[in-house]
A and B are shown apart, each in its own frame.
Chain A
Amino acid sequence: MSVEVEIRFSLNGDELRATVPAHRSLLAMLREDFALTSPRLGCGEGECGACTVMIGGQARAACLVLAVEVDGAEVETAECLRRSDGSLAAVPAALVRAGAVQCGFCMPGIAVTATALLRQKRGPLERREIERALEGNLCRCTGYTKAIDAIEAASREEERS
């Protein structure tokens, strides 16, 4: 028997309501109930960072958050990292330009982590800061170097998202 809970939250700018089992993870709700594909299930244990989303602007592993915990909160996923004309926002655009993407499975998580970091810290970032922020995002293809380059470049740009 599972207890169902009604929650209200904002998802990528849309105000939504949902009725979810109390034990359902935010990741399961986003992927299965709202058909989002950017938060990816890499481990389900908060170790790989592929499911990173922003809750109230903070990067969090959606697999470790219960859906009911986002009641009243603002949730953002990589799907919203676009400008109004549909083009990519500064961080994902920089990741693409720098060649940071190979298989890309980890990339939405990295884009979200970096976006949260850039919103919190104004001005150009140090590489060490970026590396530390990305510590929880595993990537097996790229060696991280180009992602760090990209985020550093994005932090120098005027318009950030």
Chain B
Amino acid sequence: MSRVRSSLIGSSVPKLDAAKRVIGDARYMDDLTLPRMLHGKILRADRPSARILGIDTSRAEVMEGVRAVITAADIPNHSFGHGRDNTPLKGEVVRCIRDEIAAVAADTPEQAEAACRRIEVKYGDLPPILTTDAARASGARAIHGDHPENVALTYHYDHGEVEQGRRASAHVVESTFHLRYVTHCCLGVSGVVASFDGEGKLTIWSQTQVPFLYRRDLAAIVGLDPRDIRVIQPFIGGAFGSKLDIYPFEPICVHLAQVTRRPVKILFSREEEFVASPTRQPAEIRCSMGCDADGNLTFREADLVLDNGGYTSWGATTPFVMMQTFSSLYRVPHVRFDAEVVYTNNPYAGSFRGYGNLQASFTVESLIDELADRVGMDPLELRLQNAQEQGEVTGQGMVISSCGFRECLEGSTTAARWKEKREEYRQQTGRVRRGIGMASMLHVGGGAKIYRSDGCGSILKLDDFGAVTLITGASEIGQGSETALAMITAEELGVKLEVVRVVNDDSEIRPWDVGVHASRTTFIAGNSARLAARAAREKLLKAAARLVERPEQELTIEDGEVLEQATGKHVMSVPKVIRSLHFQDKSELVVTNAYYEPPSVAQDEKFKGNVSATYAWATQVAEVEVDMDTGIIRVLKISAAHDVGRVINRLGCEGQVEGGIAMGMGYTLSEELLVQEGRVRNPCFRDYKIMTAPDMPEIELILVESLDEEGPFGAKGLGEAPAICTAPAIVNAVKSATGRRFTGLPITPERGAREFMKDAQ
């Protein structure tokens, strides 16, 4: 006789801390204040390229409320960043408009800002290098002396023989795509609070997504022992990848606190956030792709030039993710990929949700549609024909251990009534036209082995009231990780969700974790929490069996009660078992821990290897309405199918997908950080347009459950995926409505109207 018990997994659970956040009780960086705290402000360069000839801080130093003014000469100023080419303050050369020249700590933010204005900097202008072409031109000035060609990084990848693929092609399409700057627009601006205690130990309140790497990096920059740095993350008002790097303002704040011996806070203004926080990497991508007469893909070649800006952040490594899409989105026997990351005097890019995959998927999925046109196939059929199945290994060595690709293609198009609408929207004429288009994506879904470990630690503590505390290495940046982890813990342990608390904000007590990136938290931290919960459950069952003198196998734990496995009859409560362990002669705690390391491998020097424990798939179908005169494109509906392995929290999945689509729509239709002459021209929400409530289309979501063997309860990562293929889906829909293929974004009404007008003439 087996009893059916309801499972938490797959249910809809509101975010555990949502009430706090909605009512204003959550404390974000803005809300933090400490006794004797000072406010720091940074003086940035007023030009993108110059020599610094002299800095005079004397007038600033004597101003009211000013406690410290620092320049590069006053601090160790160790270099840092992925390319070790950045420093907290700049003493000799200005390489971009964000450059930090000096910093002030004062009693109030207003005093600090006023003092910044009194700092006099003498510049000797250097002609700015503003395009990647200019940077690579022969004789161009080296922006960093140790990179004479202005090339920060190069990436080469290939599998098969591209020439052979070309010869086998009946159809070849080629195009160049231009993707520009967009930025994260976290509603909570960047900030940090640094405070030293009497023994020289630093506590830093940071919005970082990667607290443990952050601690290591910060220690090296400011010259502290990592053991003397405690990182606390307050509530974070959005991150989306922007907090993967460490930025100059953070060590600057530490130095101000060191110099003044008082806590210091730096909080950006919105304008500063637009000017001095990271962007998505602008890319110029030339790509060609072929197929045989039956629509089987034959080869793919891509040459990318990425504008690195003045410094090399983690964002410069996005080609690493881009190449996965070029090599492995659909079955392609022959692939070559080359990327150059080029220094310019523009603002430097960082990591941003999708990490290069938006640019890559835009390219590949646009060309797939063009290829379908050439072959005369329905774009869905061409995609289905080339879609991978479970068990395949891609040319890059990615093992497709679970695969809902086909289900995504079929599910999204069924929801969108693809065939019917395509027929209906064929040959649209007139001013207002409708169209339908689709695009897919492939992304890591089981972490990514970039560092030596891709693991996460968990500690699980049960107290004698039966309260369960999960202390996890995983960070919460608004994505809902604490809720998913609590659900996994409660399910595995056999307790009610209400008794589980998650501690995820203090490096002093949390076990190690890589951080929030690569959509890894549910998969990696979920597995880790599950292992810790399993160990606790075993301990409880063993103790209960001893108490009632029955074999463990006859007992189970559900909803915080030890039950008879076969009948569900109550045996004793979990708190009672815990108390019996605490208060026996040989007292024992119920505290367990686990470290989960996924079975993935670091790629070799040729970028081959199974870098993630599993991969996520998705297809989105967009239905659009285009006004040919005004250029306004309205998205009517997005049908999104995402292979999530297994749904953990349904509400959480829905929220990620809806939010990702909104971000993807902004990328497609409205968002562009205008960088001209190295300066940001639209540093405000009035001129940088993100989607608003009336812009949102109907969204129909299909969550495909491919039940990954390695994933916690079968789940895989979802966080980045929803933003990745919205743009090509919309652009393909616009092509079907208007006949016009857009190879650059965003398609603002102005750009749209201009192109449609050309076509009409």
Contact = CB atoms under 8 A, between A and B. Distances in A.
Nearest to A147: B693
B695 to A, nearest CB: 8
Q: How large is the interface on B (under 10, 10 to 19, 20 to 34, 35 or more residues)?
A: 35 or more
B478 A103 contact: yes
Contact of B685 (A47, A88, A145, A148): A47
Interface stretch (B74-82, B126-134, B182-190): B182-190
Contacts of B185: 138, 140
Nearest to B24: A38
A47 B693 contact: no
B476 to A, nearest CB: 9
A48 B655 contact: no
B509 to A, nearest CB: 23
Nearest to A151: B693
A128 B17 CA distance: 29
B23 interface: yes
A106 B238 CA distance: 10
B636 to A, nearest CB: 14
Nearest to B692: A135
B661 to A, nearest CB: 6
A97 interface: yes
A108 B24 contact: yes
B188 A79 contact: no
Given A131-B693, A146-B658, A147-B693, A96 B18 contact: yes
B658 A140 contact: no
B691 interface: yes
Contacts of B240: 140
Contacts of B235: 103-104
Interface string A30-63: 0100001111111111011010000000000000
B24 A45 contact: no
Nearest to A81: B23
Contact of A140 (B12, B184, B480, B696): B184
A19 interface: no
Interface centre among B188, B479, B652 (most CB of A within 10 A): B188
B188 A40 contact: yes
B8 to A, nearest CB: 15
A87 B275 CA distance: 41
B671 to A, nearest CB: 11
Q: Is the interface of B mostly helix, strand, loop or mixed?
A: loop
A77 interface: yes
A141 interface: yes
B53 interface: no
Contact of B15 (A79, A102, A130, A147): A102
Contacts of B26: 37, 104
A99 B187 contact: no
A107 interface: yes
A98 B694 CA distance: 19
Contact of A92 (B23, B28, B652, B693): B23
Contacts of A40: 24, 28, 30, 187-188, 237
B699 interface: yes
Interface in A66-113: 77-79, 81-82, 88, 92, 95-108, 111
Interface string A121-161: 00000001011101111111111111110000000000000
Contact of A105 (B17, B188, B663): B188
Contacts of B124: none
B659 interface: yes
B585 to A, nearest CB: 44
A103 B187 contact: yes
Interface string B555-580: 00000000000000000000000000
Nearest to B686: A47
A102 B30 contact: no
B477 interface: yes
A96 B686 contact: no
A106 B17 CA distance: 15
B661 A88 contact: no
Given A48-B187, A81-B23, A141-B478, A148 B693 contact: yes
Contacts of B28: 37, 40, 105
Contacts of A100: 655
Interface centre among A39, A98, A147 (most CB of B within 10 A): A98
Interface of B: 12, 14-15, 17-28, 30-31, 184-189, 235-240, 269-270, 477-480, 651-652, 654-655, 658-663, 684-686, 690-694, 696, 699
6 contacts: A102-B655, A140-B184, A140-B238, A142-B655, A143-B660, A146-B655
Interface of A: 31, 36-45, 47-48, 50, 77-79, 81-82, 88, 92, 95-108, 111, 128, 130-132, 134-148
Given A40-B24, A45-B685, A104-B18, 16 more contacts: A37-B30, A88-B22, A97-B14, A99-B651, A99-B654, A102-B238, A103-B238, A105-B187, A134-B692, A138-B185, A140-B663, A142-B659, A144-B658, A144-B662, A144-B696, A146-B651
